[in-house]
Chains A and B, each alone.
Chain A
């Protein structure tokens, strides 16, 4: 069984990623990076509230959540996303890494943290690192 409960082997299905960031330029970069890795961008959101709705609607494997967004930030949206979609993998995305963000992430159960200023390879490595064992291909 794969993440959707389909009988097909998990590694045959493309990883589906939802990206949530209020800046078009960041989403554009994320889209390009995710596609470049051979994965699919199944949807986009511009704030945490929208991300919660899109997760329910699209059932992605991974959601990349910008920490700082209008209406609702990523770390505020994450608990509800994890509650309604416990199999999803959540990667927080931030301009600046801090111990405070790490502590908050750990408390919420967010799986990974990627920094916007880091090389793109780091983001992709972070996504790979949070996948369940059977998806780490």
Chain B
């Protein structure tokens, strides 16, 4: 029997430990690597070429979505399963747009997680009934939903912009954002203005709501 090799990426040691214990209890499955940031996940997957990469959405430095996009480029044979705190239709759109074929939330059962890994190991997609229902609802309301919900590529947030949203939503000023990221205040302000324009929001409260809804920050 060939071994199914899995890389697990989550910034919380507790989550990684739980995933490792549960998945390794499955005969023939091995956690061949762990990562705690998106950047590290991309590097580990490139180095280890696992069958499946399990990526948390909300990781520092680079979130799970961007890590998935990069993994798809650098390690196209690795199937990707994304984990998030709760279901979000916006997130499902972005997940599908990134070419990710597996999605479970952290409140889903162990059984769902095992089924997801089994499906992906066989190069088949896996979405829970709840996720599928959200997709179908989206399709019903917007035929272009899976092409990015009407959002053009130009308007898609960059990794740096998502990082800035996280910092602003955590209460940091432009000066603090600039210091953290090693950029000038003017650049931080420009990013901020671009983010507001792309998301069509006008206040920091709107931005925080967006960040919570899309799991850029945790409640």
Contact = CB atoms under 8 A, between A and B. Distances in A.
A29 B107 contact: no
Interface string A10-36: 000000000000111111111111001
A29 B21 CA distance: 8
B139 interface: no
A28 B218 contact: no
A26 B15 CA distance: 6
A130 interface: no
B108 interface: yes
A28 B107 contact: no
Q: Sort chain A's interface into a size bin.
A: 20 to 34
Interface stretch (B6-14, B159-167, B178-186, B193-201): B6-14
Contact of A29 (B15, B108, B218): B15
A38 to B, nearest CB: 15
A52 to B, nearest CB: 20
A54 B96 CA distance: 40
Contacts of B20: 32
A75 to B, nearest CB: 15
Interface of B: 11-22, 83, 85, 106-110, 218-219
